[in-house]
Amino acid sequence: DAGVIQSPRHEVTEMGQEVTLRCKPISGHDYLFWYRQTMMRGLELLIYFNNNVPIDDSGMPEDRFSAKMPNASFSTLKIQPSEPRDSAVYFCASRRAGNSVYHPTTDTQYFGPGTRLTVL
Amino acid sequence: GENVEQHPSTLSVQEGDSAVIKCTYSDSASNYFPWYKQELGKRPQLIIDIRSNVGEKKDQRIAVTLNKTAKHFSLHITETQPEDSAVYFCAARQMDSNYQLIWGAGTKLIIKP
């Protein structure tokens, strides 16, 4: 398996422009997560999906951010309009369902390589 | 909801010495505690995890211990090597929120030659 795939790996844009980040989770994984990582705030969960349905978007910073998962193999995170404070590394992660304490589970979240976003 | 605190934020140890990173959690119902390692410019990757039905788990030079009574768990790295230099994140699984992970703030581990 190729693992979680993200594109682009680097994005440089100007303030006010729309930015779209893309993620392809590992095949068969039911959960997909979008994280943002900065030096100041560390690793923040923005939103996650279960079976393509958004479950918790309380981490999305504001209305400029939106995320979709039209099918099991693709998700997007969109920022419109972008601002310099959105500059960060954005990670996508996926995992399979399963949460039993007593069986080898599939709790592991597998991260993609990240997209480094710079908004000028 | 769950809250995870991680200490120290930075840890510098001599190569060959041991390193210990500690996390505390607030939700006594949490039952899964992973540790992720993130090397500079790379993605976080799981290195070890522990579930609430065991108190310790080892994998070569790394081990994790869990104290459910005190609600803390620790990562132990023995015989540290330069390649151990990285940021380490702990997390706890929140039982009442679709079992999602709550992350610590991270510890930057520096191995001095």
What confidence tens digit (pLDDT) does each residue in A68-89 have?
A: 999 999 999 999 999 999 999 9
Which H or E element spans position B35? strand B32-38
Whether the per-residue pLDDT at A100 is higher than 90: the answer is no
Helix boundaries (H) for chain B:
none
Q: A60-74, A86-100, B36-50, B60-74: lowest mean pLDDT where?
A: A86-100
Paired tokens of A19: 């930015």
Partners of residue A108 in chain B, C-beta under 8 Å: 34, 46, 49
Which one is predicted more confidently, A114 or B2?
Answer: A114
Strands A88-95 and B32-38 turn out to be: unpaired
Q: Where are the beta strands (DSSP E) in A1-120?
A: 5-7, 10-13, 19-24, 31-38, 42-50, 53-56, 65-71, 74-79, 88-95, 110-111, 115-119
Partners of residue B44 in chain A, C-beta under 8 Å: 43, 91, 111
Residue of A nearest to B43 (CA): A113
Give mean pLDDT, residues A12-23: 98
Provide the b/e sequence for B45-66 (b: ≥16 CB within 10 Å): ebbbbbbbeeeeeeeeebbbbb
User: How high is the pLDDT of residue A42?
Assistant: 87
Strand order in the sheet with A5-7: A5-7, A19-24, A74-79, A65-71
Partners of residue A107 in chain B, C-beta under 8 Å: 32, 34, 49, 93, 99
Interface of B with A in 33-72 (CB under 8 A): 34, 42-46, 49, 51-53
What confidence tens digit (pLDDT) does each residue in A25-82 have?
A: 999 898 999 999 998 888 999 999 999 999 999 999 889 999 999 999 999 999 999 9
Q: A69-78, B25-34, B59-68: lowest mean pLDDT where?
A: B25-34
What confidence tens digit (pLDDT) does each residue in B76-101 have?
A: 999 999 999 999 999 998 765 566 88
**A42 to chain B nearest CA, in Å?**
6
CB contact under 8 A, A101 and B32: yes
Q: Do B105 and B6 contact (CB within 8 A), yes or no?
A: yes
